[in-house]
Amino acid sequence: MPDHPPQLLEVTDSGLYCAAGDFYVDPWRRVERAVITHAHADHARSGCGRYLCAAPGKTVLRTRMGGNATIDAVRYGEPVTINGATVSLHPAGHVLGSAQVRIEHRGETWVVSGDYKLQADPTCAAFEPVPCDVFITESTFGLPVSHWPDPAQVAAEINAWWRTNRDAGRTSVILAYALGKAQRLAAMLDPEIGPIVAHGAVMKLVEAYRASGVRLPSIDRVPPRARRVGDGRALVIAPPSVLGGSWLKLFGESSLAVASGWMTVRGVRRRRGVEKGFVVSDHADFPGLLAAVEASRARRVLVTHGFADVLARFLREQKGLDAAPLATRFTGEVPPDAAAAEDHEDDESPP
Amino acid sequence: MKQFTDLYWRLDATTRTQEKLAALVAYFTAAAPADAACAVGVLCGARQLRAVSTTLLRQWVAEETGLPEWLVEDAYAHVGDLAETLALLLPDTAGDDGDVRPGLAETVATTIHAIRDADEGRKREVVTATWRQLAPRERIVWHKLLTGGLRVGVSRTLVARALAEVAGVEPAVMTHRLMGVAGGPLDAAGFTRLLAPETAADDRRPYPFFLASAVDQTDPVAVAAELGPIEAWQAEWKWDGMRAQIVRRGDDATLWSRGEELVNDAFPEIVAAAAQLPSGTVLDGELLAVGRGGSAGGLSLLGFAALSKRAGRRTVPKKILTEIPAVFVAYDLVEHGGIDLRPQPLCDRRAVLETVVPDCFGAALTAPPAEAVLFRSPLVAADSWALLAARRAESRGRGVEGLMLKRRSSPYGTGRTRGDWWKWKIEPLEIDAVLLYAQAGHGRRAGLHSDYTLGVWDGDRLVTIAKAYSGLADAEIVEIDRIVRATTLERHGPVRICEPTLVMQLAFEGVAASTRHKSGVAVRFPRIVRWRREKTPAEAGTLADLRRMLAQFS
C-alpha cells in the first residue's frame, strides 16, 4: 500500500480509529467513544463508554447494547463535531438505522460504508452515495457470481413455496438473521397465506422495529416450552442457530429454507441439507459494490471483510483505482452452515 | 430445455425418493417423446461426450464478461462447480420465454452434437449464442451436457419405476426395457416403444425371493429339538455373496438382485453363461467373487467385500473382470420349461436343478475349478446334527457364513415365512471399539447423532475400522447424542470428531484387508451389540487383535 500520511482512520487493536476525533468506528473492543454503523454483533460491541448512531437505529441498538448504554443519536445527514472531526451518518440500506460514517477533517473526507446494499428494502432507508476522498467498503459478496434477483420476484417465490407447503400440511421454516433479514423477510410475506410466527430472538427485534415505526405484518412468538406449534399452515422465521437442535421439531413435518445471499451457490445449500434457498441479502452484490465505489468518486478505496483481496485487485487492475485491502474483524453475512457452527451473530440473545 | 431444467432442479431440491419419483413421472408425462428419450439417456448415465473443453469455456466466459481470467478462477474456487460458476458469471440476458425455446433433444442436437467436430470459431459462435438464449439455471444444466459432466441424483431403478408408472407396466418390465439404453442413443420412436403396454413376451420379472429366518441356537441338541430329525433337511453352505436370480426367458438372460435391480452390466460373464440355459428357466442363487490361485488350481472365495467392488458397476473394466471374476452358485430352480416350480417340494426342484446346472465342486466340496462360472450349490452331507455342527465349524475357514437348512418338502415360498428355510450362521466375531466420529441420522433419527465411526488402538493412536449405526436403544442414542455434542473436537460438515470417551461392543462377520479404513482392515457387517459403559477407551481392542482374526480366518 502506498503511503498516505496522515491517515484519518487507521486500524488499531481495538478497531478503526480516528485520531483527529479520538473515536472508533465499529470497535471490536470496549472503547470510550464508538460511532456505530449498525447493530449487528460484529459491528456493535457492548461495554463502550458512549455510542453514536443514526436516529432510526437507536431502539435497535438499545435492544442490543442494554438499557444502561449511553447512546447518542443523530438524524441522517446532520453533522456533529467530535473533538476536531466533523462526523455525519448517511443511510446504508443494510438494516434499520444502518449508516455510512462520513468523517471530515482539514479538508479531507473519508466514508466508512459499514455493511450496505443498494436494493430497495421497505424496512430501512435506502443507501445514499456520499462523495469522499477515501471510501472504506465492505466486500462480503465481492465475487462476480453474486448478483441479486429482483426482490419482488424472490418474494413471489417465497410466498409460492409457503402456499405449496401449507396445502401439503407442512410448516414452512425460513432461517434468517434475527436483526434485519428477519424483518425484511416478514415484510415480503403475504399474510393472507397463513399465520407468521417467529423465534424469540427474532421477536425481540421485531418489537424494536415496530417501536421505531416500521410497519410489519402480524407475527406471533413461538411460546417458550411449547410442545407443538401450528397445524402446518404457518411460516416460521428463525435464526440459523436452530439448525441441528431440537427446536425445529416443534413444527412436526416442515420444509426448511434459508434466506441468504449465499444461496446463489448450490453447494452451500446442499452442504447444509436445507431444501430451499432464497437469495435475499442485506449486502451489496458485485455490481452493487462497483456502483457504490463509483458513486463515492473516491480517489482511494480500502476494502474490508469478505473478498477484500479479490475486490481490491479488481478495482486496481480493471478500474485503475488506488485500492487496497484493509484488515478488520468484521464478518458480514457468513454462510448459513458456518453461522450455525460458530454460534455467530444473532444466534444468542443480546445481553 | 426448460422442462428438463425444471426436472433437474426439482430432483436437486429434494432427498425424498417419493418427491423425486413424482418429479420424474410428471416430466415423462409432459415431455415430448424426443425430449423424453434424450432425458432417459442422460438420467440412465448414457456416455456423454465432451463437445467443448472447460479451458475454452472459461476463456470465452472471461472474454464475454470482460472479467479477468484470475477472477473467473477465484469465483470457481468459491463456487466449486465450473458449470455453475460460468452460468452465474454470465449476464442474465435471457427473457422469460423458456417455454418457446427448443426442447432438450433439439438443444442437444443443434448446440452440442452439431459442434463436437467443428472448429473453435464455430464452437464459440454456437456457445455464445446459446448463452444469450438461456437463463442461468438452464445454463448450468446445458454446460454440464456440453462438457459431458451431467450427473443427476437418481438411480436407474428410480427412473425405471417412474417410466413404469407412466407406461402402466411392472417396474421389472421397464427395467428390462431400459437395458441397453446406456449403450446407445434412444430416439422418439424408441421412447414410445418403452411406454408400450406389457405383453407376455417381455416378462422378465424375477420371482419374489424366498427368505430364511435365523436359527438362534448353537448347540446341535437344541437345533435338533427345534427342527426335528435331520433326514427332513437339506444343508448347504451359506455363501458370503449377493443373492440373485437368473431369469432366462425370450431371447435373453437377465440377472436380478434381491432389490429387483437389474445387475446385468456388473456381471457380463454370468449373463453370457446364463444365455446358454434353455429359455423358460429361472435360477435362484448367489453371486460370489472368486480369486485365482485357490487349492488345486481352482478358485478361492473372495467374500462380499470384493464382490461389492463389482456390484454397482455399469461397466466392468477388463482389469476388474480378471482380478475379481464372479460366479453364480445356483441353489434353487424356480422355473423350468416356462413352468413355475415354486409349489413343488424342494427335493423335486433339486432333482431337476441337477439336470440343468452342473455340479462343479466335485466330491470334496472345495472351491470350483477356474473355468466354471455357473454351477449348483453343493449339498453338505451329515448323518446327525452333531456331525452337521462340526461341518458348520469349518465355515469361517472356507469363507462362508455358516449353513442353510431347508426342509426337503418345502415349496419356494414368498417373503420370510418361518419354518422351512433357516440360516444357521456361525457366531459373530467381536471387538470393543471406541467412538471417534458421529454423524446425525436420517428420518426418525434426524438431528440425533446416531451413525458412528469406531476405531481400535494401533500403538498409541486410534484408527478407524468400521461405521455402525444399529443395535442401541433410542434412549441410549439420545444420551450418546448429548455426549457427542459435549465432546466434539472438530466438525467437518455433518461429521463431528469426538474426544474418545465411549466404548462400544462391536460384532461383525469377518475381517478383510481394506484400503478404505486407515487401519488397513475392514470388518464385514459391523453392528453395535451394546454400549460398554463400564469400559474406558484404554481398555478397547487393538488392531493386532483384528489382524490375528484376519490371519486366522482367511
**Per-residue cell: B160:** 425405471
Are the C-beta atoms of residues B158 and B17 closer than 8 Å to each other? yes
From chain A, the residues in CB contact with B478 under 8 A are: none
* Cα separation, B20 vs B160, whole angstroms: 12
- Interhelix angle A200-211/A58-65, rounded to 10 degrees, is 140
Q: How far is A168 from chain B (nearest CA, A)?
A: 13
User: A69 by DSSP, 3-state: which?
Assistant: coil
* Cα separation, A328 vs A302, whole angstroms: 11
Task: List all residues of chain A from 119 to 158 with a beta carbon under 8 Å from chain B.
Answer: 143-145, 147
Interface residues of B toward A, Cβ cutoff 8 Å, are 12-15, 65-68, 70-71, 74-75, 78-81, 84-85, 88-89, 92, 140, 440, 447, 491, 493-494
Model confidence, pTM: 0.68
Are the C-beta atoms of residues A76 and A57 closer than 8 Å to each other? no
* Cα separation, B511 vs B550, whole angstroms: 5
Q: Nearest to residue A243, comparing CAs of A195, A328, A176, A196?
A: A176
Interface residue A319 vs chain B (CB under 8 A): no
Are A182 and A245 in the same domain?
yes
Least reliable range by pLDDT among A327-331, B276-280, B530-534: A327-331
> What is the per-residue pLDDT for B313?
78
Q: A91 pLDDT band (50/70/90 cuts)?
A: very high
Are A265 and A298 in the same domain?
no
At residue B121, φ and ψ (nearest 5 deg) are -65, -45
Share of chain A above pLDDT 90, in %: 73
pLDDT tens readout for residues A294-337: 999 999 999 998 788 899 999 999 999 999 998 777 766 665 54
The reply to whether residue B79 touches residue A144, judged by beta carbons under 8 angstroms, is no
Residue A349 domain-assigned? no
Residue A137 domain-assigned? yes
Are A301 and A261 in the same domain?
no
Matching residue, cell 418361518: B418
- For chain A, report the end-to-end CA distance as a whole number of angstroms: 39
> What is the per-residue pLDDT for B34?
94
Is A343 a residue whose pLDDT tops 70?
A: no
Three-class secondary structure assignment of B73-137: HHHHHHHCCHHHHHHHHCCCCCCCCHHHCCCHHHHHHHHCHHHCCCCHHHHHHHHHHHHHHCCHH
User: A73 by DSSP, 3-state: which?
Assistant: strand
DSSP assignments along A98-151, one per residue: -EEEEEEETTEEEEE--S---S--TTSPPP-----SEEEEEETT-STT--PPPH
Residue A183's CATH number:
3.40.50.10710
Residue A99 domain-assigned? yes
Matching residue, cell 437418481: B154
* Cα separation, A274 vs A337, whole angstroms: 10
Domain region containing A289: 10-146+282-333
Q: B293 pLDDT band (50/70/90 cuts)?
A: low
The reply to whether residue A144 touches residue B89, judged by beta carbons under 8 angstroms, is yes
Q: How many CB atoms lie within 10 A of CB B512?
A: 16
Residues 6 or more apart whose CB falls under 8 angstroms from that of B534 comprise none
Q: Nearest to residue A351, comparing CAs of A150, A65, A123?
A: A65
User: A196 by DSSP, 3-state: which?
Assistant: strand
Residue type, B519: S
* Cα separation, B507 vs B331, whole angstroms: 28
Q: How far is B80 from chain A (nearest CA, A)?
A: 7
CB-based burial label for A93 (10 Å; 0-12, 13-18, 19+): buried
Total beta-carbon pairs less than 8 A apart between chain A and chain B:
56
**Per-residue cell: B289:** 467373487
Give the CA angle between residues B102, B106, B112 to the nearest 5°.
Answer: 115
Please tell me chain A's helix, strand, coil percentages from 3-state DSSP, rounded to the nearest 5: 30, 25, 50
DSSP H helical segments within B168-285, as ranges?
Answer: 171-178, 188-194, 220-227, 268-274
> What is the per-residue pLDDT for B525?
83
Are A324 and A261 in the same domain?
no
Are the C-beta atoms of residues A312 and A301 closer than 8 Å to each other? yes
Residue A3 domain-assigned? no
What are the CA-CA distances from residue B102 to residues A96, B9, B115, B190, B192 (Å)? 46, 18, 17, 20, 20
The reply to whether residue B71 touches residue A310, judged by beta carbons under 8 angstroms, is yes
Least reliable range by pLDDT among B268-272, B405-409, B516-520: B516-520
> What is the per-residue pLDDT for A297?
96
Are A48 and A83 in the same domain?
yes
Q: A43 pLDDT band (50/70/90 cuts)?
A: very high
What are the CA-CA distances from residue B395 to residues A80, B359, B521 (Å)? 89, 20, 20
- Interhelix angle B104-111/B33-43, rounded to 10 degrees, is 70
Q: Nearest to residue A219, comparing CAs of A284, A174, A262, A279?
A: A174
* Cα separation, B197 vs B120, whole angstroms: 46
Are A264 and A299 in the same domain?
no
Is A346 a residue whose pLDDT tops 60?
A: no
Residue A118's CATH number:
3.60.15.10
Task: List all residues of chain A from 241 to 260 with a beta carbon under 8 Å from chain B.
Answer: 244-246, 248-249
User: A181 by DSSP, 3-state: which?
Assistant: helix
Residue from A139, A141, A145 to probe the interface with B (highest B Cβ count within 10 Å) = A145
Tell me what ipTM this predicted complex has: 0.86
Q: Nearest to residue B64, comparing CAs of B129, B116, B123?
A: B129
Are A258 and A320 in the same domain?
no
- For chain B, report the end-to-end CA distance as a whole number of angstroms: 55
User: A144 by DSSP, 3-state: which?
Assistant: coil
At residue A332, φ and ψ (nearest 5 deg) are 65, -150
Query: Architecture of domain B429-553 in CATH?
Result: Beta Barrel (2.40)
The secondary structure of residue B118, as a DSSP letter, is S
pLDDT tens readout for residues A228-255: 777 789 999 999 888 877 888 888 888 8
Matching residue, cell 478505496: A301
> Please, which residues bridge with residue B375 across strands?
B329
Are A37 and A53 in the same domain?
yes
- Number of folded domains in chain A? 2
Are A159 and A178 in the same domain?
yes
Are A121 and A158 in the same domain?
no
Matching residue, cell 440459523: A240
CATH code, residues B213-425: 3.30.470.30
Q: How many CB atoms lie within 10 A of CB B327?
A: 25
Go through chain A and tell me how many residues it has.
Answer: 351
Domain spans, chain B = 213-425, 429-553
Tell me chain B's radius of gyration from C-alpha atoms. Answer: 28
Are A305 and A317 in the same domain?
yes
Are A187 and A231 in the same domain?
yes
Is B363 a residue whose pLDDT tops 60?
A: no
Is A209 a residue whose pLDDT tops 90?
A: yes
Give the CA angle between residues B435, B438, B439 to the nearest 5°.
Answer: 160
